[in-house]
Amino acid sequence: MSWIAAIFSLFISAAAIAQAALPPTPPGKVLAELLEAFNSGDTAKAEAFDRTYQPQDPIAGMAALRGQTGGFELVKVETSDATTLIAFLREKAGDRFARLQLSLSGGVEPKLTGFRLEPVAPPPGLGAKRLSLAEALAALVKRQDEAAVADRFSGALLVAKDGMVVLEKAWGLADRERKLSVTVDTRFRIGSMNKMFTAVAILQLVEAGKLGLDDPIGKYLVSYLNKDIAEQVTVRHLLTHTGGSGDIFGPEFDRNRLKLKTIDDYIALYGERAPLFAPGTAQRYSNYGFILLGALIEKVSGLSYDDYVEKKIFEPSGMTSTGSLPETETVPGRARGYVNQGGKLVPNTDTLPWRGTSAGGGYSTVGDLWRFVDALQAGRLISKKMLDQAISTQVQMFGLGFAVVGEGNWKGFGHNGGAPGMSGDLHVFPKLGYVLVSLSNLDPPASTRPLEFIEARLPETP
């Protein structure tokens, strides 16, 4: 998913909120119970809270999130009455703020009827202090030094300003069993960040007249199994996650993980499914949609997906350390991923797909991802006119294959990637000239935290 989608997902699911003074209203009392249940880390208390207030929408298990977030603290109550509480929260371990709206039904035994958290800009006077570029970079390095010592970060960061790399640094271990350190050239698995390469490949083919954004995919995939998908889902729908094409992960993937070796294998497994909703009427993040985009690339280019992106994206960008070779092949400098299981970091080997695809799962370095952005913005991959479309909001938080977030000078684009034992983020802010890359071989949100930290402190003038 995109980095903003990950942020929304984290906030919406984040029930770990720090204990704070709350109004003595019914919603305030309910929130106090929630705080106690989730801040305690006691699963039994969390489950009891669920059974009492929202059995139809359980949030038990979110206590584990406290270990990632450090909880949230209440910083300001905006509204509080008998049925509603609106307040601002701040994440303890980061620099994010959210606006919470908690609603209850009336009656002797009130039930939660609404629990909405959405990210917002810091209320006046509550955000981190803006620093000079040098000060912000020094603060980031200090923070990451501390995070590495505490084993909360293992990875590499790159910060560029106006086309110049101003920070490129690594922390932690790329292979814990062999005691190999991370370097700035370590190749990390990047999850869904591959989707940016797929999107650019599609847009190249659109500019070449080989695809139409509003063509149904059945125009090219003429033998596609489900007629509704073939006839109603367009290339644009797939790029904006509005085609209803569904996901690939779940029990079927787990059973077939090592058998899914080609794009055709994925389509054979999932191609009979009908759309989850009428294409174009809703948005739901779809890994399978990007599998279909990979099939389109192969069909109209005559090349395999991997050969196409190597020739048309990686080579023109100077990306010599990026690819999607199978996990069975030895890739020099590729980090092992580590999953937190009961407080112990163990390899993520049993969760990995056979190889990366057009939906994600490849590997790259912080330097290669910066070179990708440089080539993209310089017009070496697609025209600047097409890039403007790709990084302009099309539907909600998405452009054409890119996440699009922010406003004013901080309007930016990029993508993230996250799965067990891998975490990656690319944030680009064209008006300010910043390119920020973070890659880690730990669980999400390991890569997100340092970028949130420095974005809250960087100078905000061009």
Distances (CA, A) of 146 to 17, 138, 141, 403, 411: 24, 13, 9, 30, 30
DSSP strand pairing (164-171 vs 173-175) = unpaired
Q: Quote the CA–CA distance of 199 and 137 in Å, as a whole number.
A: 31
192 is catalytic: yes
Radius of gyration of the chain (CA): 22
Query: Which region, left, alpha or beta, applies to residue 116 given φ > 0 means left and ψ of -120 to 50 means alpha?
Result: beta
- Asked if 322 and 200 count as a contact pair (C-beta separation under 8 A), the reply is no
- C-alpha 312, offset from chain centre: 25
Say which of 192, 317, 438, 447 is annotated catalytic: 192
Dihedral over Cα of 61, 115, 40, 54: its sign: negative
The residues that are catalytic are 192
